Amino acid sequence: MYRKELYVFDGERTVPAVIRNYEERDFPDLIRIQQESFPPPFPSELWWNEEQLINHVTLFPQGALCIEINGEVAGSMTGLLVDFDPKHPDHSWKEMTDNGYIRNHNSDGNTLYVVDIGVRPAYRKWGLGKWLMFSMYDVVVHLRLERLLGGGRMPGYYKYENNMSPEQYIDAVVKGEINDPVISFLLHCGRSPVKVVMNYLDDEESCNYGTLMEWKNPFNKLVK
């Protein structure tokens, strides 16, 4: 199981933090993080329920991570293993994650697929999201997987929908001409775009598009 102790920075101030696997006792905190991270117009039926969380901690506990600040759970990240074929990249969030229930978790899969990441608004821009992502990269390396993959929401796209295709929007975000709250964050974490997918998620702000973004295991050729 995973445990990492470190200091994070709130401006100049250092604050002790712990990254660890989440457990049943954390469920109320995790549900609160989701409510704060995905406010309307994001559909509330996509917030975690207890049955999904039980599946996360039983089917693939290595992929259930949270970060604690002074004993308070401030963010979480969840994944499952899937067999991904880069020649057939199209899928929806619902298909790939079993609608968040991860009953399709495949322990022989080649890819760690991200179900969700969220940090409480009060703790944003402290580097917690990046630490969670880097910790999930540790899991990818430890399990000798090929990649981490996930579909990033693109919640700034609705402002450009009439002038740009989603691909043009992502190109502009990659060039740094436009800032997107999720895609720019994923780029800062070292993830690279693979493909824009239509009807990825029921998400008004992203006009239902998502961008598949991957991080490849740098040891991949050595471990194969």
Ligand X SMILES: CC(C)(COP(=O)(O)OP(=O)(O)OC[C@H]1O[C@@H](n2cnc3c(N)ncnc32)[C@H](O)[C@@H]1OP(=O)(O)O)[C@@H](O)C(=O)NCCC(=O)NCCS
91 part of the interface to ligand X, by CB under 6 A: no
Q: Which stretch binds ligand X (CB under 6 A): 81-89, 98-106, 182-190, 215-223?
A: 182-190
List Cβ neighbours of 44 (8 Å cut-off, separation of 6 or more). 35, 38
- Does 117 engage in binding with ligand X (CB under 6 A)? yes
**Structural Rg of the chain based on CA atoms:** 17
Amino acid identity of residue 176, one-letter, is: G
142 makes contact with ligand X (CB under 6 A): no
Q: Which amino acid is at 178?
A: I
Are 69 and 8 in contact by the 8 Å Cβ rule? The answer is yes
Look at strands 64-69 and 72-82 and give their pairing.
antiparallel
What is the sign of the dihedral through the CA atoms of 199, 206, 113 and 72? negative
Span from 54-62, 98-106, 126-134, 158-166 in contact with ligand X (CB under 6 A): 126-134
Q: Is 128 in the site for ligand X (CB under 6 A)?
A: yes
Within 8 A by CB and 6+ apart from 143, the residues are 62, 81, 112
Q: Confirm or reject binding of residue 100 to ligand X (CB under 6 A).
A: no
184 binds ligand X (CB under 6 A): yes
Given candidates 24, 159, 188, 198, which one binds ligand X under the rule CB under 6 A? 188
Number of residues this chain uses to bind ligand X (CB under 6 A): 20
Q: Is 124 in the site for ligand X (CB under 6 A)?
A: yes
Binding site for ligand X (CB under 6 A): 37-38, 117-119, 124-130, 152-153, 179, 181-182, 184-185, 188
